[in-house]
Amino acid sequence: MKLSGVRYLTKQGFDNVWKNRMMAFASFCVLLVSILLVGLSILFYVNLNSIIGGIENKNEIIVFLDEDITKQQTDEVGKKLKQMDNIKSISFYSKKQAFDDMKSSMAEYEEIFDSLGDDNPLIDSYRVKIKDISQTNATVDSLNEIDHVYRIRAPYDFVNILSEMKKIVTIIATAIIVALAIVSMVIISNTTKASVFARRNEISIMKYVGATNAFIRIPFFVEGMITGIIAGMVATLITWMGYDAVVELLTKEVNILNIIGMGSIIPFAEIAFTVAGLYIIAGALVGAVGSVLSTRKHLNV
Amino acid sequence: MVELKNVSVTYSTGVDALNNVSLKVEDGEFAFVVGSSGAGKSTLIKLILKEIDATSGMVQVNNYNLNTLKKKKIPEFRRTIGFVFQDFRLIPTMTVYENIAFVLRVIDAPRRYIRKRVPYVISLVGLQDKSNSYPTQLSGGEQQRVAIARALVNDPQLIIADEPTGNIDPELSFEIVELLKGINECGTTILMVTHEHDLVRHFGGRIININSGEIVFDEVIGGNNEA
């Protein structure tokens, strides 16, 4: 096919969007809703994961040190901890600090604490944050082998619950996203089928005058792609506004972020390009392929 | 040229649409194909366009052997045929000019040629003033003339007109047939399917009558207008 032919067909595709604007609008709406449904589900999942990750970060192992440990030995333990693979950060928590914290958190028993005087029954410890909580057990084992470590306290239950939760959330989210994607494909293919059906005369004439299948398909391809790209762009805008609104609601009104913890919700600015890119590519791809597949039945004349 | 040798067509439903039909239409001929509905006229047309394949027998059209023609070659083959439908089948979103130019775009004709050829065929069917009109703005007769111009534009060896006067006022039908006759005089083979006996009697010529899937009459008769 010559270049002029390709140019003509591409122009036809653009013109068709306007000429068949009612059907194009229907395809656009279906694509938009599908992209939004799937996109928002993915965003929700990603954020939920990020929140779980945030909770993981809060999770720490406490390494209690021997009661009679010297300052030098304490530093040595600290060094060894820092060298370990699965450890993200450590902080020293002295027995003095522990005593003061305990005292202020139980103000009504101040007398008891005072009666102890300088006789601090607590011991020094390191607070250790680990990278991969599923490896907690192995890490605890190697922590136990360090000299002058008296005892380890790790939140095993918490770890197990979190890993279980992550698994369940992933399974449910994947199922929902796949189901939505399938439903979207079915609706989109039916919409484009209706659009193609409305123009079956045009297609049959093309066949009778000797048009090749490619010639017939290119305008549909271009048309579907344009519709998809526009749907992707609008979906990006809606997601952006909706996302910001929800984040604002959660931070300002409910203050829920502080309860479940931290800036674990991903700011939209950070993912705007990825979201826009994926939306537009998905829209263009589904729109174009959907239209072309729907023409197939009408090409066998 | 259209040639059928001992052709039978049996549909998958078991209906025998054509039964051992042999037929030869030479280049430059004008033939009416008549017969009641269900007689096998449509099947004959579909066969010639390679919309369907013969169950047995040989079909040859414009030097293409349709029995062995590959699917990929069908577009190339169809470009040697012009087709006129009963219901015009113009594309409603295109102007008269666009509807006709469209055929040349399909066959990848140079743009300069399109700009020269389209106005020429529009003038042949006498619609110079309607070039930029849309099909819905035209009368039935005018729409069919556009359809004929469309069939004519890529200079096909054969034009098949399937009941071209079926949706047109009777007095305008004669104009349409005269237009086709004029095209035939320039050398194009024309096969016109009709069941309007008045037209056939008026114009005369070669009449092929199909009944129950068989050719029951195939002769040249004199028309009233000549007598």
Q: A5 and chain B: CB distance < 8 Å anywhere? A: yes
Mutating which of B70, B88, B100, B105 best tests the A interface, going by the most A Cβ atoms within 10 A? B105
The end-to-end CA distance of chain B, in Å, is 29
Q: For A186-238, give the DSSP string.
A: HHHHHHHHHHHHTTHHHHHHHHHTT--HHHHHHHHHHHHHHHHHHHHHHHHHH
- Determine the distance in angstroms separating the CA of B202 from the nearest CA of chain A, rounded to an integer: 30
**B226 vs A254, which has greater pLDDT?**
A254
Asked if A270 and A191 sit in the same domain, the reply is yes
Asked if A186 and A248 sit in the same domain, the reply is yes
Q: Specify whether the CB–CB gap between A2 and B105 falls below 8 A.
A: no
What is the number of other CB atoms lying within 10 angstroms of the CB of residue A49? 16
User: Is the model's pLDDT at B124 over the cut of 50?
Assistant: yes
- Domain boundary among the residues A128, A154, A180 is at A154
Q: What is the mean pLDDT of chain B?
A: 91
Sheet holding B56-61, edge to edge: B16-25, B2-10, B56-61, B64-65
Asked if A237 and A89 sit in the same domain, the reply is no
Q: List every span in chain B annotated with CATH 3.40.50.300.
A: 1-80+156-227
Q: A207 and chain B: CB distance < 8 Å anywhere? A: yes
Mean pLDDT across B204-222: 91
Strand partners, B23: B4
Chain B residue with CA closest to A2: the answer is B108
Asked if A195 and A236 sit in the same domain, the reply is yes
Domain CATH for A68: 3.30.70.3040
Asked if A34 and A140 sit in the same domain, the reply is no
Tokens (6 digits) for A125: 């410890």
Q: Specify whether the CB–CB gap between B51 and B227 falls below 8 A.
A: no
What is the number of other CB atoms lying within 10 angstroms of the CB of residue A256? 12
Asked if A36 and A65 sit in the same domain, the reply is no
pLDDT band, residue B227 (cuts 50/70/90): very low
The pLDDT assigned to B223 comes to 77
**If 0-12 CB within 10 Å is exposed, 13-18 middle and 19+ buried, where does residue A221 land?**
buried
List the single residue in B78, B108, B154 with the smallest CB-CB distance to A5: B108
Q: How many CB pairs under 8 A join A and B?
A: 42
The pLDDT assigned to A223 comes to 84
Give the position of tokens 């959660």.
A250
Our CA angle for A8, A13, A19, nearest 5°, is 115
Report the distance separating Cα B82 and Cα B182, nearest Å.
Answer: 15
Report the distance separating Cα A273 and Cα A47, nearest Å.
Answer: 17
pLDDT digits (tens, 9 = 90+) for B49-66: 998 999 999 999 999 999
How many Cα atoms sit within 13 Å of A90 on the Cβ side? 21
Q: What is the torsional sign of CA B125, B126, B132, B137?
A: negative
Which stretches in chain A have pLDDT values below 50?
A: none
Strand partners, B215: B210
User: Is the model's pLDDT at B176 over the cut of 70?
Assistant: yes
Our CA angle for B39, B145, A13, nearest 5°, is 95
Contacts of B37 (CB under 8 A, 6+ apart): B195
The pLDDT assigned to B188 comes to 94
Asked if A165 and A251 sit in the same domain, the reply is yes
What is the number of other CB atoms lying within 10 angstroms of the CB of residue B28? 14
Q: Is A70 helix (H, G, I), strand (E, B) or coil?
A: coil
Where is average pLDDT lowest: A256-260, A284-288, B133-137, B185-189? A256-260
Asked if A71 and A204 sit in the same domain, the reply is no
- Domain boundary among the residues A154, A184, A199 is at A154
**A129 vs B112, which has greater pLDDT?**
B112
Report the distance separating Cα A246 and Cα A268, nearest Å.
Answer: 11
Q: B76 and chain A: CB distance < 8 Å anywhere? A: yes
- Determine the distance in angstroms separating the CA of A293 from the nearest CA of chain B, rounded to an integer: 19
Chain B residue with CA closest to A208: the answer is B78
Calculate the CA B166 to chain-centre distance.
13
Mean pLDDT across B91-117: 90
Report the distance separating Cα B25 and Cα B6, nearest Å.
Answer: 15
Fold of B1-80+156-227: Rossmann fold (3.40.50)
Where is average pLDDT lowest: A20-24, B167-171, B178-182? A20-24
Asked if A248 and A104 sit in the same domain, the reply is no
The pLDDT assigned to A263 comes to 57
Count up the domains in chain A and report the number: 2
Chain A residue with CA closest to B78: the answer is A210
Asked if A136 and A109 sit in the same domain, the reply is yes
Asked if A52 and A28 sit in the same domain, the reply is yes
Where is average pLDDT lowest: A47-56, B1-10, B83-92, B146-155? A47-56
Q: Do the bridges between strand A87-93 and strand B56-61 make them parallel or antiparallel, or are there none, so unpaired?
A: unpaired
The end-to-end CA distance of chain A, in Å, is 22
CB atoms B89 and A8 under 8 Å? no
The pLDDT assigned to B225 comes to 66
The pLDDT assigned to B7 comes to 93
Q: A14 and chain B: CB distance < 8 Å anywhere? A: no
- The whole domain housing A142 covers 60-154
The pLDDT assigned to A292 comes to 81
Backbone φ and ψ of A283, nearest 5°: -60, -50
The pLDDT assigned to B193 comes to 93
The pLDDT assigned to A219 comes to 83
Asked if A98 and A187 sit in the same domain, the reply is no
Report the distance separating Cα A71 and Cα A196, nearest Å.
Answer: 80
Q: B134 and chain A: CB distance < 8 Å anywhere? A: no
Secondary structure letter of residue A21 according to DSSP: H
Chain B residue with CA closest to A8: the answer is B105
pLDDT digits (tens, 9 = 90+) for B11-40: 888 888 899 999 999 999 999 999 888 888
Task: For B162-186, give one letter per residue: b (16+ CB within 10 A) or e.
Answer: bbbbbebeeeebbbbbebbeebbee
Report the distance separating Cα B158 and Cα B83, nearest Å.
Answer: 9
- Domain boundary among the residues A154, A171, A205 is at A154
Report the distance separating Cα A30 and Cα A228, nearest Å.
Answer: 10
